[in-house]
Structure 1
Amino acid sequence: MGSRVPSIACIGVIGKHNNPLHISLFPPEERAPLEFSFLLSSCLDIFEARLPHKTADQDFGLLQAVDERLAMYGWLTNTGVKFVIVVDMEGRQASVFETRSSASVGLRDADLKPAFRALQTAYIGLLRNPFYDPDDHSPVTANAEQRVGSTQITSRRFIREVKRIGDTWTPGIVNI
């Protein structure tokens, strides 16, 4: 059996009112969407518990280790939107380059910072779209009669960027 490297199993974007805005699975055909939806919901209390102790740093680091294989990491934007990345520690088959370059035993919080920065950049790009109104995606401000669309993010550009981030991230990558 060849060596394996950690990979992203799920990226979740959770609104400031703890409503799911977007969930991407990697690879989607091998993952159970409901399972990851529950996992993302389970980490919301951890954000709330750590929030009073956080200062200017947006990186919440390791939120929880689900089991020996899955670990959840979190990031909070200044607008209250949460990014959660679930890492599969046995993710995928390592390429020759990754086998030579990955001498690490585990995963450090800093390994995910490039992915979180790229997610934040993608989200800022979404917010700059004049046709995207974040309040339309909030269950608090959009009642059933006024709601035209879904509370989920439907921007193809944003979804494509999240997929790119999830597909290209590897431990030790500096820039995505």
Structure 2
Amino acid sequence: MQGKKAAAKSAERVIKKYPNRRLYDTDSSAYITLADVKQLVMDQATFVVRDAKTGEDITRSILLQIILEEEAGGAPMFTEQVLASIIRFYGHAMQGFMAPYLEKNIQAMVEVQTQMADKAQSFTPEMWSRFMTMQSPVLQGLMGSYVEQSKSAFQQMQEQMQKNADQVLGAFGLKRP
């Protein structure tokens, strides 16, 4: 099993970030831009960004930079209220539950998008027109599925919180009423 992990690690594309803020793709032996890194994400390529000096994994900070540029680019995805809410979760007891909750919801939306794309391939322009002008049962079904998955993720998060609370109370010899 360790051999597979080592092979997977060596197959991972490595991008080095130099102090001059330049990114170097070791696969193509060329300097690349954030737009190129964004394209790697869009292509679902597996990569890691490492600080050239320390070797530290800084992939998250580069991905956050891409999000920042996208948000500043004119069609933001996050409202100020959403961003403020995310900031409030840092340091809060719910912080540990937020990431898995968001991840499950985004995955559910990706699945809805994939299903829509699969169904849309056979649509003619006339079919698209009809689809867009009336409420489609297919769309309702897909969104219903997303809502159910979101609800399930939230319920799992609540159950985990209750278990954690029970453990904390149990440590003090207390039980929930």
TM-score, normalised to structure 2, is: 0.29
Greater Rg by CA: 2
Larger helix fraction of residues: 2
TM-score, normalised to structure 1, is: 0.29
Larger strand fraction of residues: 1
Answer 1 or 2: higher relative contact order, Cα 8 Å, separation at least 6: 1
